[in-house]
Structure 1
Amino acid sequence: MDAIDRKILRALARDGRLTNAELAEQVGLSPSPCWTRVRRLEAAGIIKGYAALLDQAALGLPDTVFIEVMMERHDEDSLRRFEATVLAIPEVLECHLVTGEYDYVIKAAVGGTAGYERLLRDRLYRLPGVRHTRTSFALRCLKRELSPVPE
């Protein structure tokens, strides 16, 4: 990957709807070599896909919470069941298996404290093997990058 590939990745990370002509102009290439590079980056799995960024507030889920989850057991079956269940919860934006005191960190979109309580009581506390949770509400998002592009 060279400097032009990184320019392409940065431009697409900012706006995945750029036309090939617009992208080529931004990175200083003609359209044909730009198209070839984008296809190569896709084929290599560096570009995994394209998605629309949705406005959580407009969808009635204006608040972001970070929920740390401690499991009762750490056997493969318990973790697999927990993970499969979390994948099916629509409010969950991300879920990471982490090191430290807690086992998972979940990022979720909720509709205020009432929406958070519903998520906690109706979904998370019913998950298999959950021992304890700890939650923080995000006050403001200072930076949001979907994927960093190294220099």
Structure 2
Amino acid sequence: MRRTTPLALAAAALLLAGCGSRQDTGSGGRTPAPSGTGAPSAGRNAGDCTAHAHLTAAEQDRHVCVAEGGELRIVLDGTRDRPWKPVTASGTALRAVNAGLVLRPGDATAAYRAVAPGTVRLTSSRPRCPEPTAPDRVACEGVEEWTVTVRVGP
């Protein structure tokens, strides 16, 4: 019978620990948080609310539930030519907290703490196409809207 060394056991444990990890979704290394509409998963509280959520532009038109006392972070990756406007919140269930620094021109970041039960609508927008670089170019007047509805639950 072959004897297993402690080093081999440690390597196997590390390999297995990575099996359930999330993969990069092309969002600059950020992994979107669960939307609160699916089955409960790791990191969720009782019910369908999560303690921590990370939203990107991919969560457009989603509904998210954050547990009271939890935190919500938003990073909308934009460009210098197509910048996101600052994220706005309508409602009183979330309180803005320090989101950190925006390192790239065009990005919008925001962070909120879930302070009371209720519903809040988060919004931002950006131009659909860059401003024309020459006077003889036609401008595209389209706007890309981003909206997420957040429910704060107990």
TM-score (norm 1): 0.26
Q: Which protein has the bigger strand share?
A: 2
Q: Which protein has the bigger helix share?
A: 1
